[in-house]
Chains A and B, each alone.
Chain A
Amino acid sequence: MVSGLKVGLLVALASIGLSLIFGVTGLVNFAHSEMVAFGAVIALLLESTVGLNGALFPLAVVLAVLAGGGLGFGLERGIFGPLRRRKMTNISLMVVSIGLAFLMRYLILIYHGAEPETFESFRIQSGVSLGPIELPAKDYFIIGIAFTTLLMVGLLLQRTKLGTSMRAVSDNPALAESSGIDVNRTIMWVWILGSALASLGGTMIGLTQVVEWQMGEKILLLIFAAVTLGGLGTAFGAMVGGLAIGFASETSTFWLDNDLKFLIALAVMIVILLVRPRGILGVRERLG
């Protein structure tokens, strides 16, 4: 159960950026899962070659998140922003993102190698019990960080001017521009935020499992399921969807083979979408 919660929080963390970016630009970014892997690989690199391990490991995480933000900035500035301003269709942009995903995946393969690795820090830990549950210390750390981050993202979106402008641009970019919002600047912040969150999610996923070049490919389906399930384009939907998918896939391993857990996640998605086609939090706008 707790492991379901943990995986759910991490999937949520990794998915929000995908949903936010879709919301403000309409781009279905297939490279998002590679942005997740990017974070894990950078953190691993900082730990093993720069030596940010043990007590310094949190610094590696922070730097990986910043690098993730930088990656988002670079992708928007260098690729997606210019293409969007040239009025490329969303389908073409999606194809570009698929190409980018392959490129990133193989760059990771070249620089990181084909061998799965684990973080040195926190590798072996004895359980710490808290009431009826006993978990490795790192799991408290992971759950705490993921939960706090999700809460802060929620507050950012609901309570701040920048967050409200992100929702406004999601609703209607032309109207946002007409209201006086610098839409391109808002979209840039969404890329930075979404990519930084993907990096954080990736690092945390790497901490619970392994870091490998195919990790993006493996998580791709989960985050897409989470985002679709929650309702495309809403960050809260991605949170709820991520929790549901993570939870469903983890808890199913109690009675099903481990390899089937992705199938369960997808089955849950399909069933829920049959009942609520716009996703759990997707809302229908009043017409007229």
Chain B
Amino acid sequence: MSSRRVVLESKDLVAGYLPGVDILTGCNFKLYQGELVGIIGPNGAGKSTLVKSMFGLVEVRSGVVQLLNEEITNLAAHELVRKGVGYVPQTENVFPSLTIAENLQMGAYQLKPNEVQERMKNITDLFPKLGQRLKQRAGLLSGGERQMLAMGRALMMEPSVLLLDEPSAGLSPALQVDVFENVTAINKTGVSIVMVEQNATRCLKISDRGYVLDQGKNAYDGTGEGLLHDPNVIKLYLGTMAESR
């Protein structure tokens, strides 16, 4: 694994929203080519903030974010989309007043119309449910359908790196299984993926590696399997042993 290229990396990241309040207090993170990396940790640990600050949505106060060999610290998100990074936010991840088709089109804003048509077909092949309702407003979709649309929107640019913030949040167990299957399938096509998850056990099971975030820092990292069986991680973040099985 370590012989592979690092595609996304953050070093000693300090970032926050309000002046004088740092949420990330020196976060280190690496994503290798083709990997699926899980980020877990308690509520408020700064998982979403880490992903957002690597994607240019939260101001980085010190530290460096690198995409391949290029420094991208504080670059605007739309520039990162052009460079092949896709992002699905944890909440409010569709445009409610736009139709499903328009939501997908906005995902490929930087492409030419004929390319957009082609990509749209690929996405509706992947998510046939969306294809049947292209003219419907996204605000009327159910939680699971929104998650599908948000993922589809991010895939429209065919990113090489995909950042997913709790893609299974709020979904029924059956739909959660679908989401994890989709994520694994997308990863198999060569997309490097960072996935923040509330469902830590399941996330680590499908991840190559994982990071445990606590209070704005990475507390533990290791292979998915390794973290699943690490007594400290189990005690602090995975709940009882019974649950993690």
In the assembled complex, B98 has its CB within 8 A of some CB on chain A: yes
Contact status of A177 and B110, CB under 8 A, knowing A161-B105, A168-B95, A288-B143: no
- The answer to whether A181 and B97 touch across the interface, beta carbons within 8 angstroms, is no
| C-alpha gap A170/B108 in the complex (Å) | 18
Q: Which of B78, B87, B89, B105 contacts A183 (CB 8 A)?
A: B78
Q: Which residues of B contact A177 (CB under 8 A)?
A: 57, 76-78
Q: Are A178 and B77 in contact (CB under 8 A)?
A: yes
Q: Please, which residues of chain B bring their CB within 8 A of the CB of A175?
A: 89, 92-95
Q: Is B107 an interface residue (CB 8 A)?
A: yes
Least CB distance, B194 to chain A, in whole angstroms: 14
Residues of B within 8 A of A131 (CB): none
Asked if B7 is at the interface (CB within 8 A of a chain A CB), the reply is no
Chain A residue at minimum C-beta to C-beta distance from B141 = A286
Whether the Cβ atoms of B78 and A168 lie closer than 8 Å is no
Q: Which of B148-180 contact A (CB under 8 A)?
A: 153-154, 157, 170
Q: List the A side residues contacting B95 at CB < 8 Å.
A: 167-168, 171-172, 175-176
Interface presence of A79 (CB below 8 A): no
- Contact status B98-A180, CB under 8 Å: no
Chain A residues 168-224 with CB under 8 Å of chain B are: 168, 170-172, 174-183
Chain A residues with CB below 8 A from B107, complex form: 179-180
Q: Interface size on B (CB < 8 Å)? A: 31
CB pair B153–A179 under 8 Å, yes or no, is: yes
Q: Are A181 and B78 in contact (CB under 8 A)?
A: yes
CB contact list, B63-104 vs A, under 8 A: 76-78, 81-82, 87, 89, 92-98, 102
Cβ of B139 under 8 Å from chain A: yes
Of the residues A167, A180, A283, contact of B78 by C-beta under 8 Å? A180
- A164 interfacial contact with B, CB 8 Å: yes
Instruction: Report whether A180 and B82 are in contact in the complex, using a CB–CB cutoff of 8 Å.
Output: yes
Residues of B within 8 A of A161 (CB): 105, 109
CB of B126 closer than 8 Å to a CB of A: no
CB B158 to nearest CB in A, in angstroms, measures 12
Question: Shortest beta-carbon distance, B136 to chain A, in Å?
Answer: 11
Give chain B nearest CB distance to A211 CB in angstroms. Answer: 37
Assembly CA distance A181 to B153 (angstroms): 12
Asked if residues B140 and A286 are in contact (CB atoms below 8 Å), the reply is yes
Q: Which residue of B lies closest to A170 (CB)?
A: B97
Q: Mark B110-153, 1 if CB is under 8 A from A, else 0.
A: 10000000000000000000000000000111010000000001
Nearest chain-A residue to B95 (Cβ)? A171
User: Which of A171, A178, A182 touches B98 (beta carbons < 8 Å)?
Assistant: A171
Q: How many residues of A contact B (CB 8 A)?
A: 22
Minimal beta-carbon separation of B105 from chain A (angstroms): 7
Complex Cα distance, B105 from A168, in Å, reads: 11
- Whether B76 lies near A164 (C-beta < 8 A) is no
CB-defined contacts of A182 to chain B, threshold 8 Å: 76, 78
Is B139 within 8 A of A286, CB to CB?
A: yes
B87, B96, B110, B170: the one contacting A178 at CB < 8 Å is: B87
Cβ-neighbour of B81 out of A164, A165, A170, A178 (below 8 A): A178
Contacts of B93 in A (CB 8 A): 175
Given A171-B98, A179-B153, 19 more A-B residue pairs with CB atoms under 8 Å apart are: A161-B105, A167-B95, A167-B97, A168-B95, A171-B97, A174-B92, A175-B92, A175-B93, A177-B78, A178-B78, A179-B106, A180-B108, A182-B76, A182-B78, A183-B78, A285-B96, A285-B97, A286-B96, A286-B139
> Can you give 28 A-B contacts (C-beta < 8 A)?
A161-B105, A164-B102, A167-B97, A167-B98, A167-B102, A168-B102, A170-B97, A171-B95, A171-B96, A171-B98, A172-B92, A172-B95, A175-B89, A177-B76, A178-B57, A178-B78, A178-B81, A178-B87, A179-B78, A179-B153, A179-B154, A180-B106, A180-B157, A181-B109, A182-B76, A283-B139, A286-B96, A286-B140
Binding site for A on B (CB under 8 A): 55, 57, 76-78, 81-82, 87, 89, 92-98, 102, 105-110, 139-141, 143, 153-154, 157, 170
